[in-house]
Each structure stands twice: as structure tokens, then as C-alpha cells.
Amino acid sequence: MQQRGEKGLWVLAIGISAVVGFAIAGFPGIRSQDADALPTTTVERSSSVATSSTTSPSASTTSTTTPTTTVIASTRSTAAAPIVVVKSPQELTVRVGNGTRTSGAAAKVSEQLAAQGYTTRTPTDAKVNDLAATTVYYRGPHQAEAEVLANAIGLSAMDVLPITDPSPIEPDGAELIVIVGTNQAG
């Protein structure tokens, strides 16, 4: 015959197992009627950079897509990966500098970025004019945003660096700086 304390432990163990089972299964059968009306976020990976868009269902069969913040999480280890919130282009300011002898190279890249939703400052000439490779620089915690911008103009995360002191150009309040090299000047 079981003692009263042992029976209580078995009931507790079964209860905990049921709660854990429901948590893992996502509480099957419980669903809000309005779940299909909620906005959804899609995150797509391209090398080490992710982009996203949010689709909001409407009453008709069409949907609208608006730019959103992107969440990038590393999946390389089994430990909990840190989540990085990436600002959308509309939330960032970029200044482009010409690091070549090609006239108008910075203006061309600045116009490309403005067309993609970035707020741009007046393009300027960099302190050097013989750069071979375009580089994206970031201030503070904006490395992930710099990598997204680099991807948007055909560069990789390898072309992203923190802003140095002295800066290659005056940032003029921009979080991101692009210095155009000959690889994008033409």
C-alpha cells in the first residue's frame, strides 16, 4: 500500500508532465478565431544577413506589405542565441562619401539608398580618393543595420567596419557611412 506522501508526488509528477507536454505541443486545439487576421513577419536569410517584411491581411483578398524591423538570431550553437533587433531603413540615416576620383560616385550610391528608404545626408568626398573597395561603417550598436545596408548595395558583411577615429568623412549625424570605392564608382 502506498503512503499518502508518495501518492501526492505521483500526482504532482503527472501534472507537471501534462503541462510540459502541452507547452511543447503548443496547446493543440486552442486557437483564436482572429489568428488569421494578425500581421505576420517573414524573415529571410541571405548569407549572414536577414531581411524581413510584414504582411497585414485585409478584408479583401489582397494584402499590404510594409517595411519592419528585422530580427536576426544566430543558430550556430545549441545555447540560447542572442536576438538582435535591426532598425528598418526608414529609421536610419546614412552619409555617403566618394573614395574615388570618379565624379558623382557618392551621389549615385546615395540616390540608390534613398530609393530603398534610407534617410541620406548630403554626399561628400572622402579624405582619400584611391579606395578599391566600397566599405560600410557603423556607429555604436548598428553593426546589424550596416550589414543589411551592405547587402542592399551588393556587398558582404566582410565590407562592414566600425567607424574609426578619425572618421573617413564627417558623419553629419548619420548612424551609417558608406565610402564608395572603385568597385562601385562606375
8 A C-beta contact, residue 179 and residue 134: yes
Tell me the per-residue pLDDT of 49-67, one tens digit each, with 9 for 90 and over. 444 444 444 444 444 444 5
* Least confidently predicted of 17-31, 102-116, 124-138: 17-31
Determine, yes or no, domain membership for 186. no
**pLDDT at position 23 over 70:** no
Determine, yes or no, domain membership for 122. yes
CA–CA distance, 16 with 1 (Å, rounded to integer) = 24
**pLDDT at position 176 over 50:** yes
Q: pLDDT at position 82, please?
A: 76
* CB count in 10 Å sphere of residue 91: 14
Tell me the per-residue pLDDT of 121-136, one tens digit each, with 9 for 90 and over. 999 999 999 999 999 9
**pLDDT at position 108 over 90:** yes
Q: What angle do CA 183, 74, 43 make, to 5 degrees?
A: 75
Q: What is the count of structural domains for the chain?
A: 3
Mean pLDDT, range 143-158, rounded to an integer: 95
Determine, yes or no, domain membership for 72. yes
φ, ψ of residue 125 in degrees (nearest 5): -90, 140
Is the domain of 100 the same as that of 80?
no
Q: pLDDT at position 13, please?
A: 59
Is the domain of 130 the same as that of 71?
no
Q: Which domain holds residue 130?
A: 90-180
